[in-house]
A and B are shown apart, each in its own frame.
Chain A
Amino acid sequence: MAYPYRHDSEVRLLSEHFGNPRARTLEGWVELGGYRALRKALGMDRAEVVNVVKASGLRGRGGAGFPTGMKWSFMPKKEPGKPHFLVCNADESEPGTFKDRELMRWTPHALIEGCLIGAYAINAEHAYIYVRGEFFEAAQIMARAIEEAYAAGYIGKNILGSGIDLDITLHIGAGAYICGEETGLLNSLEGRRGEPRVKPPYPAIAGAFRYPTAVNNVESLIAAAQIVENGAEWYRQWGTEKSTGTKLFCVSGHVKRPGNYEVPLGFNFREFIYDVCGGTPGGKAIKAVIPGGSSVPILTADELDIGMDYESMAAAGTMLGCGSVIVMDEGTNVVKQVRRMVDFYAHESCGQCTPCREGTAWSAKILKRIELGRGTPDDLDTLLDISDKMTGKTICVLSDAAAAPIVSSIEKFRGDYLALMEAGDLALAGAR
């Protein structure tokens, strides 16, 4: 099956082989040029691998945008009897995100290669790929690919005759958003409850099984492999000074052509939505856009003339996040959408920290009441105050993520809230 949509403005580095079933097999992958990066990396000094990724400016694609090479350089010196681990975060669960799933579905060996290079760079002898439990097909494809790669000597003892042993274990999660938070993921990997850990210590000091660990996103690892093969300067030809390279954007909602698109960072957001994705079906006006996954502040239609890079998004008061674009047209009930998001966070909160456990659930109840037309204007003050008390007060940022859409929607769409309050019981009639 051909991959759904393509566009000429795309720069397809990561997604080049999407839709090509040949890329899934080891044989096909090698034919397409696979595992060259691994051979090259194994011939390099470990520090050199880290340095080239550092020089490329690649930033973590999981959402936080922390430079990947920098993260690797934080790993301590190897001590005897103290293993290092590489953990690939494939627990892609941010609502609106589906890029890692496609990377694994179409190019499983690219991820294996990325994991092997990353593991080599940080001197780990074992890499874990933690796949979201619901990604049944992706996990099956990954498992098959890992088996093939073991059999062909790309993974295991003395890989490619280099004298280096590297193992990869596929670990399938049990369906929890919070296990995408790196320390929650590590706890889950260890068989504990998926609850984020208090930091410090950071994973580089005490990660998986309390040993030094680097946790990297699927897209970051695959990009790192390409950088090792082609060089830092090659990668820097795309993107901006501080947001280098290309990135996969997952588009959903009211656009004509939803799907994954790979564009250079810094690409104009309006052009992206209207040209690359074809604008809204029926040409309706856009009401709101979530640019980076459900946990980032919402943009209005007037705010779309910005670059799709970390800095420009931050300057616009939102975040690039993991590049999950959700477009909502003029017919959207914003309050309902925000309520659904907050419901999601309330459902997915691990429940450790009081502000998150209680704040998400309480906010969701208030929003539901407003949605049903039983809200009063003071509810908005309460919501903003709750959001403030949920932001920056907890172990991880799930609580902040839940608060962000509440705050930005009240700031930008207060009229929608007030209209539901005025409609009273008639709010239900207009709800959709």
Chain B
Amino acid sequence: MADETTAAVENVSVTIDGMELSVPAGTRLLDACAQAGVDVPHYCYHPGLSAPAQCRMCLVEVEKSPKLVPACVGTVAKDMVVHTESEAALKAREGVLEFYLVNHPLDCPVCDQSGECKLQDYVAAEGPAMGRSKEPKRVLGRDDFGGDVLFYADRCVMCTRCVRFMREVAQDERLTVVQRGHRAVIDTFFDEGLTGNLWADNIVDICPVGALVSKDFLHKARAWDLDRTPSICPNCTQGCNVRLETRDNQVMRIKPRPNPEVNAHWMCDFGRLNYQWINRVDRIEAPLVRDGSGRHVPMSWSEALMRLADALRGQTGGAAAVVSPFAANEDVGALRRVMEAVGGGGGVFRCEQGEEVTLPGFPELALRTDRAANVAGAELFGFSRAGGADGKGGLEGVAGHAGVLFVLGDELADAAADFGANASLFVYVGQHLSPAARNAHFVLPSTTFAEMEGTFTNVQRRVQRFWPALRAPGMSRPAWQILGVLLAGIGDAGAPGTAADAFAGLAAVRPEFGMLAWGDLGAQGAALPEAVGQAGD
């Protein structure tokens, strides 16, 4: 496919701000400028939407063209000479910026967009030092658009990205421009506004100013106080590429990160607003080992893991496990290796399910039925689905297991009080000390995905990395590290020092992981090849 399109298009030479470069004929001027390292200011253009060329912010001078050309719809032609910072271009853009400020409330100190606002940025970069308007400003006020979205009409620059997103991508026209001229304003069609549309918060992301803001994030943090960490949305098997935006060791919001293979520029509201669980503070902070009197005693990792290794060496009854579908590939893979070292055994995972909702304008993206990120990973490492669509039940097979019982990440909130009571050895690796977890002989605090490095395998079998965004509480560690050290203690494997080591170890259980190099995953992941010649798979 790539060959067909590239073969037909001829490369042409263009000069942008004095830099000569060769790009395919017909390339969008804005993209060609970006290739030349020039960021042409723009509001209405967005790579995921149609280009109406109406903000007039991206006007650039093209030699031999009678008028300034909007770079968002202009295309390059042979020997074109473009000046993005000529006097005429700068004057036109300065004009647009001053026009925006005629009625803009300049309420940056209380605006959530402040610090990541394109109006602020461009006015600072090339706007007039002082506005000349002496007239009273138009005041429109604030409107609740429904869903998670608040509309501050006075901040709006009428770029219509939001209207076009709802029309073209969500394909659920709930927004429109009403009135015309300077009375034009964005409004909803119906009383319910955006309520009920799963994708509405994307308009908050693409709003270049503070006109559309998230109710959830309202006045919660300043943009410049946030740390941004590339990650993967944990809330369904789609694996949308995201940034976790954190402050004071808490996730404040989740924003999509573009990935043309997975989520384009978008993500669903379910995924982005479902982050409170990551911020839970009722965490296990130290390894707890049951002593002779049945009490849990906190101890050091080396002591706890030494005792656990000793305890495992005597076990012959086979293993059983409950794993969480939120656990990383490296975590479930390491557990599988530990289980094999003590005689093997089956295991289950439980996953909440819901209705699948596809994004019509980018149907590769959907809120998937399984509402956890690593169902594919859990299955690849031999764990099978149990329980209901509410993510509960299904523990009958393991609750009374008489051999070694592992629990990885599953809180067991719904488990019976005597869960694991028959187990010869019950090891709980997780975050929350639920009543069932208290039955464990060893309680080992592990990190959430947000506090560690690792990978998830999404519904397309794409393996994608995430990075630590939060400090792990107390002594908690990634499960792959806990189980990797344990494995070194009971077998002859070396303990993994890094997530890359842990990832390399996955090939011992699933050879197809050996065909993927850690270094090739990058920030956007890579498809997991099908295993070759693996019998009975």
A358, CB-defined interface residue at 8 Å:
yes
Q: A346 vs B133: C-alpha distance in the bound complex, in angstroms?
A: 16
Q: How far is the CA of A340 from the CA of B120 in the complex (A)?
A: 34
Q: B182 near A395 (CB under 8 angstroms)?
A: no
Q: Which of B52, B68, B100 contacts A358 (CB 8 A)?
A: B100
Inside 8 A of B55's CB, which chain A residues have their CB? 353-354
Q: Once the chains bind, are A354 and B96 in contact (CB under 8 Å)? A: yes
B99 / chain A contacts, CB cutoff of 8 Å: 354-355, 357-359, 362, 389
Complex Cα distance, B91 from A351, in Å, reads 21
Q: Is the CB of A358 within 8 A of B59?
A: no
Q: How far is the CB of A376 from chain B (nearest CB, A)?
A: 9
B183 and chain A: residue at smallest CB distance: A351
A198 CA to B184 CA in the complex, in Å? Answer: 19
Verify A361–B96 contact, CB threshold 8 A: no
- Closest residue to A200 on the B side, CB-wise? B73
Of the candidates B59, B99, B132, B134, the one having the most CB atoms from chain A within 10 angstroms of its own CB is: B99
- A347, A354, A382, A395: the one contacting B57 at CB < 8 Å is A354
User: In this complex, what residue of B is CB-closest to A198?
Assistant: B53
A405 CB → nearest B CB, Å: 17
Measured CA separation A266–B184 after assembly (Å): 42
* Contact status A351-B177, CB under 8 Å: yes
Interface set, chain B 34-68, CB cutoff 8 A to A? 52-57, 59, 67-68
A393 to B95, Cβ gap below 8 A?
yes
Q: B181 touching A349 by the CB < 8 A rule?
A: yes
Query: Would you call A393 and B59 a contact (CB within 8 A)?
Result: yes
Write the chain B residue with the least CB distance to A178. Answer: B180
| Chain A, Cβ-Cβ closest to B98 | A389
Give the nearest-CB partner of B53 in chain A. A198
Picked from A176, A193, A347, A369, the residue with its CB within 8 Å of the CB of B177 is: A193
B134 contacts which chain A residues (CB < 8 A)? 366, 369
- Partner among B70, B91, B100, B180 whose Cβ is within 8 Å of the Cβ of A349: B180
Which chain A residues border B132 with CB–CB below 8 Å?
382
Contact A354 B158 (CB under 8 A): yes
Contact, CB under 8 Å: A392 / B54: no
Classify chain B: how many residues form its interface, as a range.
Answer: 20 to 34
Given contacts A353-B56, A355-B96, A393-B68, contact A360 B158 (CB under 8 A): no
Shortest CB–CB separation between residue B154 and chain A, in angstroms? 13
Asked if B157 CB lies within 8 Å of chain A CBs, one says yes
Shortest CB distance B33–A (Å): 19
Closest Cβ of chain B to A379, distance in Å, is 8
Q: Does A394 contact B (CB under 8 A)?
A: yes
CA distance A169 to B135 in the complex (A): 46
Which residues of the other chain, B, contact A361 by a CB distance below 8 angstroms?
A: 102, 181-182
The docked-state distance in angstroms from the alpha carbon of A194 to that of B133 is 29
Residue A352 lies at the interface, judged by CB distance under 8 Å to chain B:
yes
- Chain B nearest CB, measured from A399 CB (Å): 9
Minimal Cβ-Cβ distance residue in B for A347: B181
Whether the Cβ atoms of A393 and B133 lie closer than 8 Å is no
Q: Decide: A357 and B181 in contact? CB cutoff 8 A.
A: yes
Cβ B95 vs Cβ A351 within 8 A: no
Number of interface residues of A (CB under 8 A): 33
Q: Which residue of chain A is the closest to B99 with respect to CB atoms?
A: A358
B516 within 8 A of A: no
Chain B hits for A358, CB < 8 A: 99-100, 102-103, 182
The verdict on A350 contacting chain B, using a C-beta distance below 8 Å, is yes
B92 proximal to A (CB < 8 A): yes
Nearest CB in chain B to that of A197: its residue: B52
Complex Cα spacing A360 to B184, Å: 13
Which residues of chain A from 32 to 63 have a CB within 8 Å of any chain B CB?
A: none
Does A365 sit at the interface, judged by CB under 8 A?
yes
Closest to B179 in A: A351
Q: Nearest A residue to B59 by beta-carbon distance?
A: A393
B181 near A393: Cβ-Cβ < 8 Å: no
Write the nearest CB–CB distance from B163 to chain A, whole angstroms.
10
Interface readout for A351-390 with B: 1 if CB under 8 Å, 0 if not? 1111101111110011001000000000000100010111
* B100 close to A354 (CB less than 8 A): yes
Does residue A148 face the partner (Cβ distance < 8 Å to B)?
Answer: no
A359 contacts which chain B residues (CB < 8 A)? 95, 99
Residues of B within 8 A of A365 (CB): 135
Give bound CA distance, A317 to B95, whole Å: 25
**When the two chains form the complex, which single residue of A198, A346, A382, A386 contacts B182, counting CB atoms closer than 8 Å?**
A346
Nearest residue, chain A, Cβ from B95:
A389
Q: Are B184 and A392 in contact (CB under 8 A)?
A: no
CB of A348 within 8 Å of the partner chain: yes
Contact present for B181 and A395 (CB under 8 Å): no
Cα of A50 to Cα of B67 in the assembled complex, Å:
31
Cα separation A274 to B102 with both chains bound (whole Å):
44
A175-195 vs B, Cβ < 8 Å mask (1 yes, 0 no): 010100000000000000110
- Contact indicator A392/B91 (Cβ below 8 Å): no
Contacts of B179 in A (CB 8 A): 351
Contact of A351 with B158 at beta-carbon distance under 8 Å, contacts A357-B184, A358-B99, A392-B68 already known? yes
B119 to chain A, nearest CB (A): 11
Per-residue interface assignment for chain A, residues 388 to 404, with 1 indicating a CB less than 8 Å from any chain B CB and 0 otherwise: 11101111000000000
Within the complex, what minimum Cβ distance (angstroms) separates A91 from chain B?
Answer: 15
Q: Which of B172-189 contact A (CB under 8 A)?
A: 177, 179-184
A35 to B68, CA, bound (A): 47
Instruction: Find chain B residues with CB under 8 A from A346 CB.
Output: 181-182
Q: Known: A351-B180, A355-B99. Contact between A362 and B68, CB under 8 A?
A: no
B98 to chain A, nearest CB (A): 8
Taking the closest CB of chain B, its distance from the CB of A50, in whole angstroms, is 28
Contact assessment for B56 and A351 in the assembled complex, using a CB-CB cutoff below 8 Å: no
Q: Across the two chains, which residue of chain B brings its CB closest to A379?
A: B134
Given A198-B53, A354-B96, A355-B96, A366:B182 Cβ within 8 A: no
Give the docked Cα–Cα distance between A171 and B429 (Å). 72
Q: Are B102 and A352 in contact (CB under 8 A)?
A: no
Q: Which of B305-321 touch A at CB < 8 Å?
A: none
Q: How far is the CA of A151 from the CA of B91 in the complex (A)?
A: 59
What 1/0 mask marks residues of chain B from 80 to 102 whose CB sits below 8 Å from any chain A CB? 00000000000110011011101
* Contact indicator A393/B92 (Cβ below 8 Å): yes
Q: Which of A357, A358, A382 neighbours the largest number of chain B CB atoms within 10 Å of its CB? A: A358
Partner of A366, one of B59, B135, B180, B183: B135
Q: CB-CB < 8 A to B91: which residues of A?
A: 388-389
A393-B135 in contact given A198-B73, A349-B182, A358-B100 (Cβ < 8 Å): no
From A358, which residue of chain B is reached at the shortest CB distance? Answer: B99
Q: How far is the CA of A395 from the CA of B98 in the complex (A)?
A: 19
Which residues of chain A are within 8 angstroms of B92 by Cβ–Cβ distance?
389, 393
Expressed in whole angstroms, the Cα–Cα distance for A388 and B68 within the complex equals: 13
B59, B73, B98, B177: residue with the most chain A Cβ atoms closer than 10 Å: B98
A199 to chain B, nearest CB (A): 10
Minimum Cβ distance to chain A for residue B488 (Å): 64
* Bound CA–CA A346/B180 (angstroms): 9
Docked-complex contact B54 and A353, CB < 8 angstroms: yes
On chain A, the residues within 8 Å of B184 by CB distance are 350-351, 357
Query: What are the residues of chain B within 8 A of A369 when measuring CB–CB?
Result: 134-135
Q: Out of B52, B98, B135, B180, which one reaches A198, CB within 8 Å? A: B52
Q: Quick check: B177 and A355 within 8 Å, CB to CB?
A: no
CA distance A386 to B73 in the complex (A): 25
A382 and B130 alpha carbons, distance in the complex (Å): 13
Judging by beta carbons under 8 Å apart, are A351 and B52 in contact? no
Complex-state Cα separation, A348 to B179, whole angstroms = 10
Could you say which residues of chain B place their CB within 8 Å of the CB of A350?
180-181, 184
Q: How far is the CA of A392 from the CA of B102 in the complex (A)?
A: 20
Q: Are B182 and A352 in contact (CB under 8 A)?
A: no
A–B Cβ pairs within 8 angstroms, 10 of them: A198-B70, A346-B182, A349-B180, A352-B54, A354-B54, A357-B99, A357-B158, A358-B102, A360-B182, A392-B67
Closest 5 CB pairs of A and B: A389-B95, A351-B184, A358-B99, A361-B182, A349-B181
In the complex, given contacts A355-B99, A362-B99, what are 19 additional A-B residue pairs having Cβ atoms less than 8 angstroms apart?
A178-B180, A198-B53, A348-B180, A349-B181, A350-B184, A354-B57, A354-B157, A354-B158, A355-B95, A355-B96, A357-B184, A358-B100, A359-B95, A361-B181, A365-B135, A366-B135, A389-B95, A392-B68, A393-B92
